[in-house]
Structure 1
Amino acid sequence: MTTPRIVVAGSANMDLVGLAAKLPGPGETVLGDDFVMTPGGKGANQAIAAARAGGECTFLGAIGSDSFGVTINARLAAAGVDVSSMRTSYGTSGVAVIMVDRAGENSILVSPGANRTFVNLSDAEKSLIAGADVLVCQQEIPVATVTEAARAAQAGGTSVLLNAAPARALPPDLLAAVDLLVVNEVEARAITGAHEPDVAELLEVVPRVVLTLGGAGAWYADRDGASVKVPAFPVEVVDTTAAGDAFCGALAVAWGEGRDLADAVRWASAAGAVCVRKLGAYPSLPTRADIEALYAG
């Protein structure tokens, strides 16, 4: 089987996570239980997920010239992601400040930092996209950049997977370049405007769609008439952080390998299920062996 070439164009952040008995109110200081600093951002997470799932993955994005940027770059490279084309922008990297209480509730402040500077793709970046099997994008970088990347993929015959997260309306010219849309119910509502969206409404704007349903699994459908509901794998849930990113990275790899998309969704669902069995984002993104073990079982 040929190793699929995956390009991920997206965000990279440093996640600063504080754990405490309760979340502080306005003007209140709370003593924390623990603190964790780990690379994150949907783009970086999905790139690592794709590399660990067996893809030849290149990441396109921007980090800052600060120490966080150095760490993000090193973690991506250590996971097997090609970071040779990642930009460094003078200033701060993207940062997410996350406070979590003992009940699992959280409060998050995201400062995009260098992610805002990832605009106007170069000819070299467009060439990398056009030479890939699958382009993966999300919505944590400027939408103009996502659209430009999708158009470059379309021109080069590269399949485009858009994970439309976080939820927001999408411009028609971007949707016109998307081959496979991955959304949860909240994100689907932002696109269709329907209170209870289903895949039929999403297929009015894209040719293929995966609607993720959390513990209820996922629903794949396309304009050729396929409609397959994939049940979730039964596992003990420890932390759902990055489960969607594990799903998208693995789905890109399976699709790039030429699997039937309904089967690719089931394989990606196994990746998401493996991810929720561990705490944290980066440490929980599964290897190909981890995915295969659950998928085959």
Structure 2
Amino acid sequence: MGYDIVTMGPLLCEIMRKELDKPLDRPADFTGPYPSGDTAIMLNAAARLGARCAMIGVVGDDGFGRCVTDRLKENGVDCSMIRVHPEAATGTAFVCYYSDGSRNFLFHVHHAAPGMLEPEDVKPEKLAGSKWLHVSGFTMSVNQASAEAIYKMVETASPESKVCFDPNIRPEALSEEEIRKLCMPVIRRADIIFPSKSEAAMLTGCATDEEGCRSWAADGKIVVLKNGDQGCRIYSGTEAFDVPGFSVEEVDPTGAGDTFCGAFLTGLTEGMSLEDCGRFANAAGAMSVRKQGPMEGAPSRAELEAFLQEQTNT
């Protein structure tokens, strides 16, 4: 019996400013480390909600590596495919927040352990029978070896395995043409795509996200456009509908979209309708922003169900 969800990508520790409006080029206090990495955040959320999950990645033989892998293990993620590199340091992300809601990140990824991911880390025989293989554009953008590892996972996937793609790639890292070329092999194979604002238009070349999402849906894909605290818009075939979000007090928005993806995929593995998956995922994403640290607010199944029941009763 395979996993419900398998993913790969940079395993990071996040270190953040304690106060607002403290840029990264000036001395000021930090807090952390917090376990992080977009695909790891997604998988941690799914595991906490009951999915059988496995992670592929590389960490250093250091405290930061243990910080992130210990968290995943605590929540039930199979970490046997995470390689410990004897010489490279675990990846880090420094972040500062501003009063206007914007953030600034400084990643140490390309020349750290996350940049050591390679196709040989993918073991197709271990992935056979998995329900979902989750891919992030951020992973593919690290370097060519990381992209080749993703392509190998997708190309050698069992016929019964479905592929999920979350673009999550920063236009400032590559040109739009380079991003499209990089992502196209995964988009062709993807069964579901989770774009954020502007990504559907960028990746399809359409004038708007609406047009881009509908073009993917016309190709037979499920498309879930993430709209932050507004919820999500789901496209399937010729149908499109909105699932409203939930209002909560935000402490730290980092990882909310990844938590959303993990919850949505968990719902799919359990046979929920697309609308129910959207509501389930919107709730998980909302709950995740109530604590500092990208994995800290990920709810347990009991916490999420209690939150949804509370929302139904109000």
2: CA distance between counterparts of 1:25 and 1:80?
35
How far 1:105 sits from its partner (Å)?
4.2
For these two proteins, the number of residue pairs brought into alignment is 290
2:4 is matched with 5
For 1:258, what is the secondary structure of its paired residue? coil
What is the aligned counterpart of 2:254 among 232, 241, 251? Answer: 241
In 2 relative to 1, CA 25–4 (structure 1 residues): closer, same or farther, beyond 3 Å? closer
What is the aligned counterpart of 1:210 among 205, 224, 229? Answer: 224
Residues 144-293 of structure 1 mapped to structure 2, 5 A cutoff: 144-153=148-157, 155-167=158-170, 168-169=179-180, 170-198=182-210, 199-203=213-217, 207-223=221-237, 225-293=238-306
1: CA distance between counterparts of 2:265 and 2:294?
18
Give yes or no for contact 1:13–1:39 (8 Å, CA) kept in 2: yes
In 2 relative to 1, CA 194–156 (structure 1 residues): closer, same or farther, beyond 3 Å? closer
TM-score normalised by the chain length of structure 2: 0.84
- What fraction of aligned residue pairs are identical, expressed as a percent? 28
Please give the root-mean-square deviation of Cα atoms over the aligned residues, in Å.
Answer: 2.4
Q: Tell me, which stretches of 5 or more residues in structure 2 are unaligned?
A: 140-145, 171-178
For 1:284, what is the secondary structure of its paired residue? coil
In 2 relative to 1, CA 121–266 (structure 1 residues): closer, same or farther, beyond 3 Å? farther
1: CA distance between counterparts of 2:48 and 2:10?
18
Residues 79-94 of structure 1 mapped to structure 2, 5 A cutoff: 79-89=75-85, 90-94=87-91
TM-score normalised by the chain length of structure 1: 0.88
Give yes or no for contact 1:246–1:285 (8 Å, CA) kept in 2: yes
Q: CA-to-partner distance for each residue in 1:181-237, whole Å, 9 max, x for gaps? A: 0011132233123452212133356611101112222111122x3322111123333
Give yes or no for contact 2:230–2:245 (8 Å, CA) kept in 1: yes
2: CA distance between counterparts of 1:230 and 1:40?
27
For 1:86, what is the secondary structure of its paired residue? strand
Residues 74-153 of structure 1 mapped to structure 2, 5 A cutoff: 74-89=70-85, 90-101=87-98, 104-112=101-109, 113-122=112-121, 125-141=123-139, 142-153=146-157
In 2 relative to 1, CA 5–219 (structure 1 residues): closer, same or farther, beyond 3 Å? same
1:18 is matched with 17
Moved more, 189-198 or 106-115: 189-198
What is the aligned counterpart of 1:73 among 65, 69, 73? Answer: 69
Q: CA-to-partner distance for each residue in 1:44-75, whole Å, 9 max, x for gaps? A: 11111010011011111111223211222212
1: CA distance between counterparts of 2:200 and 2:148?
20
Moved over 6 A (4+): none
In 2 relative to 1, CA 238–206 (structure 1 residues): closer, same or farther, beyond 3 Å? farther
In 2 relative to 1, CA 70–205 (structure 1 residues): closer, same or farther, beyond 3 Å? same
Is 2:42 the partner of 1:50?
Answer: no
Give yes or no for contact 1:130–1:152 (8 Å, CA) kept in 2: no
2:143 is matched with none
How far 1:12 sits from its partner (Å)?
0.8
Give yes or no for contact 1:19–1:102 (8 Å, CA) kept in 2: no
2: CA distance between counterparts of 1:207 and 1:18?
39
2: CA distance between counterparts of 1:156 and 1:25?
46
In 2 relative to 1, CA 120–200 (structure 1 residues): closer, same or farther, beyond 3 Å? same
In 2 relative to 1, CA 226–130 (structure 1 residues): closer, same or farther, beyond 3 Å? farther
In 2 relative to 1, CA 98–236 (structure 1 residues): closer, same or farther, beyond 3 Å? closer
Q: CA-to-partner distance for each residue in 1:2-49, whole Å, 9 max, x for gaps? A: 9972212222101121224533485xx4333x5221110011111110
How far 1:100 sits from its partner (Å)?
3.2
Q: Tell me, which stretches of 5 or more residues in structure 1 are unaligned?
A: none
